[in-house]
Structure 1
Amino acid sequence: MKKVKLDNQVIWFDESLIPEEQLNYAFEPAYWQEQGKIVGSAMGRGITWFVELDTMQGALRHYRRGGLFGKLIEDSYVFIGESKSRSFQELVLLDRLKKSGVNVPTPIAARIVKQGLTYSADLLSEKVPHAQDLASLLRRHRLSESAYYKIGNEIRKMHVAQVNHTDLNIHNILIDDQSKVWIIDFDKCNSQSGDAWKQANWERLKRSFLKEKAKGAINWDESDWDYLF
């Protein structure tokens, strides 16, 4: 990754995926709108914009706080160093996982905008092509035993890379039209040694299945859980 500083911005980017001259505007949805290159969007904590780059489709996300604190301070974080910034850390994790053979979006660029003692952050990563999240798929039909095993195997690969996904749920596991499993959304996740923390990832994922099942929203039975292993 190459690093540049533009006024109060610090940007890290893969120059094989996005040209440096585009960086001044690449994190602004209005720029992509003017170019006619917004190809979709998704709602989460904020809006993720899907944009058409020369090399691939990208997902542009502005970091926002959740919970009660997020209502007071929507998108500012205390600056304690570039390497500690949310977008840089997620960029590094994605790069590490990609190199470890885990199916995650390709990291393209990350930005922080410093404002005194605080900063805001943005991330541009690959939009996984022709993929839907597990929750959406299970609303329509059951999954096969082999599909569940593939999901479990991708999580095990992530754990071998010693990455702790602290918000593993059925909304950030994707399956594409080639039945390939992807894991997304590594904000606030981290590299971690040892094995003790890995069980917490599995337990969080199971709670996600149970929560949606309790709503009657998905075609899933608790016995399906065993197919992950």
Structure 2
Amino acid sequence: MKSVTENNHAFWYDEQLLKEPVEKAFDTEYWQKTDKVIGSAIGRGTTWFVQTETVAAALRHYRRGGLFGKLVADSYWFSGWEKTRSYQEFRLLQQLRESGVNVPRPIAARAIRTGFTYKADLLSEKVFNARDLVAILQQTPLCTEMYQKIGREVRKMHNAQINHTDLNIHNILIDEQQQVWIIDFDKCYQQSGDSWKQGNLERLKRSFIKEVGKRQIYWQLADFGAIESAYRDEKC
């Protein structure tokens, strides 16, 4: 990881993955003018999918949610460059990949300081031809083997002592090769011990139950048993 801090800007990036000028990497107009925007997705904000020289990537600007987000959309209290949300997520993704967890490769992160606050962005590799569990389960049930893969991937994440504070089925993807991916590690962190891990699993279970009522996904409580059994398998 290369780090550059100048004036009120800080950049962190992987020189092997980012060949474009790092200061341009977070400029949507740059990608539009070079005709390298390959798609977008609307969530809390717009995530832009762009084709870099090396890989397809997702460009995300950090935005607040909830009622407070309506007042302060995208500014955060500054208490040090390494405490910015973009740097924290960049490093967390690196740690997870080093631990063998299927997460997107981090390409670059940026933070811009203005007085006591900052704004931030993250550029990460786009998971190729993947859909989240909600989109898949709205169309078809999953087999037991796939639920077991999900359980093993969550187990690997927990073995790395990473607490995914928003572990839900929107943040679990399956690609065309039937590989499971976990995404969106904003506000997540490394945590010692084991006491929090069951709560993480319960959060995931609640997200399945919620989407059954909300979107009538193809899922039943017994399916979560396959996730739990694979998760607890000591050979994982």
Q: Name the TM tier (shorter chain).
A: over 0.9
Q: Which amino acid aligns with 2:149?
A: K
- Report the CA distance between 1:216 and its aligned residue: 4.4
Q: Distance in 2 between matches of 1:200 and 1:121?
A: 29
1:193-212 alpha-carbon deviations (Å, 9 max, x no partner): 00001011101111100001
Partner of 1:91: 90
Give 3-state SS (helix, strand or coil) of 2:63's partner. Answer: coil
Conservation of the 8 A alpha-carbon contact between 2:172 and 2:182: yes
Aligned counterparts of 1:214 and 1:25: Cα–Cα separation in 2? 43
Q: Does 1:70 align with 2:69?
A: yes
Matches of 1:216 and 1:94 in 2, distance apart?
A: 30
Q: Could you say which residue in structure 2 is the equivalent of 1:102? A: 101
Q: CA deviation at 1:7?
A: 3.7
State the percentage of identical aligned residues: 59
Q: Kindly indicate whether the alpha-carbon contact (under 8 Å) linking 2:10 and 2:112 is maintained by their aligned counterparts in 1.
A: yes
Q: Does the alignment pair 1:118 with 2:117?
A: yes
Distance in structure 2 (CA, Å) of the matches to 1:40 and 1:22: 21
Question: 3-state SS of the aligned residue for 1:149?
Answer: helix
Q: Match for residue 16 of structure 1?
A: 16
Give the whole-Å Cα distance in 2 for the aligned partners of 1:116 and 1:132. Answer: 40
Correspondence 1:127 to 2:164: no
Partner SS for 2:204: helix
Give the match for residue 165 of structure 2: 166
The amino acid across from 2:209 in the alignment is L
Partner amino acid, structure 2, of 1:72: L
**Unpaired runs of at least 5, structure 1:** none
Q: Tell me how far apart the structure 2 counterparts of residues 145 and 167 of structure 1 sit (CA, whole Å).
A: 24
Q: Could you tell me how far apart the structure 2 residues matched to 1:216 and 1:165 are?
A: 23
Q: Deviations over 1:165-187 (max 9, x none)?
A: 00000000000000000000000
Task: Look up the SS of the partner of 2:47 in the other structure.
Answer: strand
Residue 113 of structure 1 deviates from its aligned partner by 0.4
Which region of structure 1 is more displaced relative to structure 2, 143-152 or 36-45? Answer: 36-45
Q: Deviations over 1:62-118 (max 9, x none)?
A: 000010110000000010001110000000000000000000000100000010111
1:25 deviation in Å?
1.3
Is the contact between residue 138 and residue 215 of structure 2 (CA under 8 Å) also seen in structure 1? no
- Say which SS state the counterpart of residue 223 (structure 1) adopts: helix
Residue 184 of structure 2 aligns with which residue? 185
Distance in 2 (CA, whole Å) between partners of 1:5 and 1:87 is: 14
Amino acid at match of 1:186: F
Out of 189-198 and 215-224, give the one that drifted further: 215-224
Deviations 1:127-183 (A, max 9, x none): 000100010000000000000000010000000000000000000000000000000
Q: What TM-score results when the alignment is normalised by the length of structure 1? A: 0.98
TM-score (norm 2): 0.95
Task: For residue 195 of structure 1, give the secondary structure of its aligned residue in structure 2.
Answer: coil
SS of 1:153's partner is: helix
Q: In the alignment, which residue of structure 2 is the partner of 1:38?
A: 37
- The one-letter amino acid of 2:183's match is I
